[in-house]
């Protein structure tokens, strides 16, 4: 056993003495020791119940003959961090979480790991951490929040952000905004739509690193507790059979994750996290590898913010298992990939039925003929950028308009709120990428205010930063190379015409190559916005978004 490194032999008597100080007895020390990485905290609604998930995991481990030992990781709530300095620290937390798992599982050589995340950066951060130590591991998430009810309709957090724009424009009263604020998030779980947290929890199933239904069982359901117990038992099987993350996450399983992502219309941030996971798995993959899969996989689901349904609807229609089965039966997914069940991804789901074909459409009757995400390239994004195509109105798939340029999110929001953005404009927000932000802050406020003011079918937003998974409309992020690295998006000026063609996967500024080169030569050297601490170090190490904003060296 790997844990023998810290417990076997007379020379490890001091180590065993310290373990006994925690209450472990000789029998427990002799058994396989399973580390439980738990991101529970009292900040994030998706994490307030993870103590219960951990308790269930421990019961599963003990019943299967192991000894569980829990440790913590950090977690940032993107919704609470949104639109202030705190958001600059969110993406950076992903690598910090991964590093903390690497440190804990190396300093204390566990035989296996159970990873308990639930929200945005925490899910990929834990998966990356597992890949770095590469010992048997399984993900069991906390599950999605149920939608709230407002005026007899289901709603989620995205509607609260959009209501800010409606209230600013006089389309909603402050009393109505307050009522919505109180009802949109009814309790524990990751926010109820197909935003980044739930997208990543679903894709962990497609990667094979989590059990079926990990992404969709509601946080408050007893089924979630039963799944956690099963995850505790399964980690013992993985340890016994020495099945490691790099045995599961490979080129085929990453392609499966992208295929499922296209089918469900997941968050555009998955285009950041999947390349990052692939990097740490040793599998080359960038933004440009997405389009070939998007071209052949149809978009099947209309989950908020791309439609009226929520995660609970997807779950009771058959969940990600039903989506995987549909894709596999149509030859759009690799059936033979190994998963944490010890069986192939197809064998896991072959008995699952699609209960409601309004929630999960048939391959022959999709929402869109191609995938929910699209990668655009052009003279201001030579290495690509990403748009959640499934959430873009038909009339905005092709758009041309004058740029309104801002060098930070706050200035853009002020301009939008003060009616300085008009029909036809293209809002350009630069110096908000991984290096420039730093930390590539997620921008839900500007996109939501645009939508709330009724401009989402008339105004486009583009940035070298990123947008929230709750964003809808022609919101194009991850422009690479970013402005802070001397990318050509940095030369765009007010009034320049931006031409966007999502149908043709192109984005360009109407300038000659010579004019772009001239303007690039005149750019001043970029000075980091944060000059000390973790994010200063982060900015010095991080790659561009097209490669997943990873630490390359």
Which sequence positions are flagged as catalytic?
Answer: 468
Contacts of 229 (CB under 8 A, 6+ apart): 56, 57, 59, 60, 63
Helix pair 222-241, 50-63: axis angle to 10 deg: 40
Element (H, E) at 427: strand 426-429
Helix pair 196-207, 251-264: axis angle to 10 deg: 140
Element (H, E) at 497: strand 497-501
Residue 72 structure tokens: 């913590």
SS3 per residue for 358-424: CCECCCCCCCECCCCCEEEEECCEEEEEEECHHHCCHHHCEEEEEEEEECCHHHHHHHHHCCCCCCC
Element (H, E) at 375: strand 374-378
Exposed, middle or buried by CB within 10 Å (0-12, 13-18, 19+), for 419?
A: exposed
SS3 per residue for 328-342: HHCCCCCCCCECCCC
Element (H, E) at 386: strand 381-387
How far is it, in rounded angstroms, from Cα 386 to Cα 401? Answer: 19
Which residues are 138's β-sheet partners? 114
Where does 73-211 show beta strands of DSSP type E? Answer: 112-116, 137-139, 148-150, 153-155
How far is it, in rounded angstroms, from Cα 274 to Cα 279? Answer: 9
Please, are residues 129 and 100 in contact by the beta-carbon 8 Å criterion?
Answer: yes
Which residues are 139's β-sheet partners? 115, 210
Residue 438 structure tokens: 């730093």
First to last CA, the chain: 31
Please, are residues 192 and 216 in contact by the beta-carbon 8 Å criterion?
Answer: no
Contacts of 292 (CB under 8 A, 6+ apart): none
How far is it, in rounded angstroms, from Cα 543 to Cα 287? Answer: 13
536 phi and psi angles, rounded to 5 deg:
-65, -45
How far is it, in rounded angstroms, from Cα 59 to Cα 143? Answer: 19
How far is it, in rounded angstroms, from Cα 260 to Cα 214? Answer: 14
Element (H, E) at 30: helix 26-30
Q: Mapping DSSP to helix (H, G, I), strand (E, B) and coil, where does residue 195 land?
A: coil
Contacts of 417 (CB under 8 A, 6+ apart): 165, 168, 449
């Amino acid at each position: 056993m790997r844990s023998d490194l810290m417990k076997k032999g007379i020379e490890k008597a001091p180590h065993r003495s310290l373990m006994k100080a925690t209450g472990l007895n000789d029998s427990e020390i002799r058994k396989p020791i399973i580390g439980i990485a738990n991101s529970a905290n009292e900040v994030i609604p998706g994490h307030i119940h993870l103590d219960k998930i951990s308790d269930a995991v421990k019961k599963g481990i003990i019943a299967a003959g192991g000894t569980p030992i829990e440790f913590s990781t950090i977690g940032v709530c993107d919704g609470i961090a949104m639109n202030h300095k705190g958001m600059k620290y969110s993406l950076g937390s992903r690598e910090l979480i991964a590093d903390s798992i690497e440190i804990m599982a190396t300093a204390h050589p566990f035989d296996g790991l159970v990873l308990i995340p639930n929200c945005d950066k925490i899910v990929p951060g834990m998966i990356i951490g597992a890949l770095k130590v590469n010992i048997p591991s399984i993900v069991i998430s906390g599950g999605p929040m149920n939608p709230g009810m407002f005026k007899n309709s289901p709603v989620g957090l995205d509607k609260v952000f959009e209501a800010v724009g409606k209230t600013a424009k006089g389309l909603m009263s402050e009393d109505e905004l307050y009522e919505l604020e109180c009802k949109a998030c009814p309790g524990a779980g990751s926010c109820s739509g197909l935003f980044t947290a739930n997208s990543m929890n679903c894709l962990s199933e497609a990667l094979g690193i989590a059990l079926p239904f990990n992404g969709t069982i509601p946080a408050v359901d007893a089924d979630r507790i039963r799944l956690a117990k099963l995850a505790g038992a399964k980690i013992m099987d993985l340890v016994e059979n020495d099945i490691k993350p790099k045995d599961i996450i490979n080129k085929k399983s990453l392609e499966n994750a992208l295929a499922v992502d296209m089918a469900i219309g997941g968050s555009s941030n998955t285009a950041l996290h999947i390349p990052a996971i692939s990097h740490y798995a040793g599998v080359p993959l960038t933004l440009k590898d997405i389009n070939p899969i998007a071209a052949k996989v149809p978009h099947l689901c209309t989950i908020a913010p791309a439609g009226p349904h929520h995660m609970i609807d997807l779950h009771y229609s058959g969940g990600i298992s039903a989506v995987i089965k549909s894709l596999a039966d149509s030859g759009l997914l690799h059936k033979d990939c190994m998963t944490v069940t010890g069986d192939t991804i197809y064998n896991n789901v072959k008995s699952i039925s699609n209960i409601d074909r309004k929630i999960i459409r048939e391959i022959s009757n999709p929402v869109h003929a191609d995938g929910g995400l699209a990668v655009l390239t052009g003279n201001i994004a030579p290495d690509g950028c990403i748009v959640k195509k499934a959430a873009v109105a038909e009339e905005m798939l092709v758009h041309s308009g004058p740029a309104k340029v801002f060098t930070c999110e706050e200035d853009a929001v002020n301009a939008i709120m003060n009616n300085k953005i008009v029909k036809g404009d293209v809002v350009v927000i630069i110096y908000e990428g991984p290096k420039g932000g730093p930390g590539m802050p997620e921008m839900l406020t500007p996109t939501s205010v645009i939508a709330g003011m009724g401009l989402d079918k008339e105004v486009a937003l583009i940035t070298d930063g990123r947008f929230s998974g709750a964003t809808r409309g022609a919101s194009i992020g991850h422009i690479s190379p970013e402005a802070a690295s001397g990318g050509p998006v940095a030369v765009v000026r007010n009034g320049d015409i931006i031409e966007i063609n999502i149908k043709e996967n192109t984005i360009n500024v109407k300038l000659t190559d010579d004019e772009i080169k001239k303007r690039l030569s005149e750019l001043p050297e970029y000075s980091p916005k944060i000059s000390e601490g973790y994010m200063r170090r982060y900015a010095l190490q991080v790659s561009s978004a097209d490669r997943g904003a990873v630490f390359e060296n």
